[in-house]
Amino acid sequence: MLRGQRPLPLVVMIRVVLAGYRGRTGRALLPALEAAEDIELVAGVGRGDDLRAVLRDRRPQVLVDFTHPSVALANALLGVEAGAAPVVGTSGLAEADVDRLEEACTRSGLGGIVAPNFAIGAVLMMWLAEQAAPHCDAAEIIELHHEAKADAPSGTALATARRLAAARSVRFRHSRPERVMLSGTRGGEEGGVAIHSVRLPGVVADQEVMFGLPGQTLVIGHRTIGRECYAPGVLLAIRRVVAEPRFHRGLDSLLEL
């Protein structure tokens, strides 16, 4: 070091294990995790791998999970048991499962997050729709995902509908036809909000919230072009759950919305 130079700040590396690294989203996250200067990806775990052994041997600070709703809770609880804060992007978890994970994190003094969507644009879409909800009479959600998605409706659509309903003092109007010629065509319903799920090849993850009121409609939508859109939200979550022992449900509080 030359005289007068200040020493470079020491970068504290966050050790991360990625469960579901062979999946579509996992593969999209890998470049961002490997490029981050303050993150060390110590292992990727796929189907059939022994997660418990990886956690024991690699000792990560964070377990990122993008797997399947049938195993995501068990994975996250294993992470907490090993001292790794969970960052869960797997959708389809029941509220009781999220409650159980939050309790486990609290007991262990760990941070954690379960988010229905890690795309920052999708989080902003939900927030904007929530602001519009008190001013509109009716609302419907159309969500589109790839054909292999395990759950329907999506976690984002369910979370959106619940937030819209909670933002109102009265229930949304949900019209029902006198004659139903094909069952299910009016979609499912959550809090007076109809939800329609589309599953097609060629789609990643899109959502539109359509509001209706006399003489006009309002549409707030989000389009996912590629799964790399999830990386900024995941990186933000990793850093935050290590920095503070707090459990988050969604990215909203991390974005200070």
* DSSP secondary structure letters along 15-52: EEEEETTTSHHHHHHHHHHHH-TTEEEEEEE-TTS-HH
Phi, psi of 138, deg, nearest 5 = -145, 155
Cβ–Cβ < 8 Å for 167, 130: yes
- Measured on CA atoms in the order 63, 144, 186, 123, is the torsion positive or negative? positive
109 — alpha (psi -120 to 50), left (phi > 0) or beta?
Answer: left
Cβ atoms of 236 and 254 closer than 8 Å: yes
In DSSP terms, which residues pair with 195 in a beta bridge? 141, 188
Which amino acid does the sequence have at 20? G
Distance CA(117)–CA(185), nearest Å, equals 26
Q: Quote the DSSP letter at residue 77.
A: H
Which candidate in 145, 196, 222, 248 is catalytic? 145
Reply yes or no on whether 135 is catalytic.
no
Q: Pick the catalytic residue: 135, 146, 149, 196?
A: 149
Q: Is 149 a known active-site residue?
A: yes
What are the E-state strand segments in 28-181? 39-45, 62-65, 85-88, 112-114, 138-145
Residues involved in catalysis: 145, 149
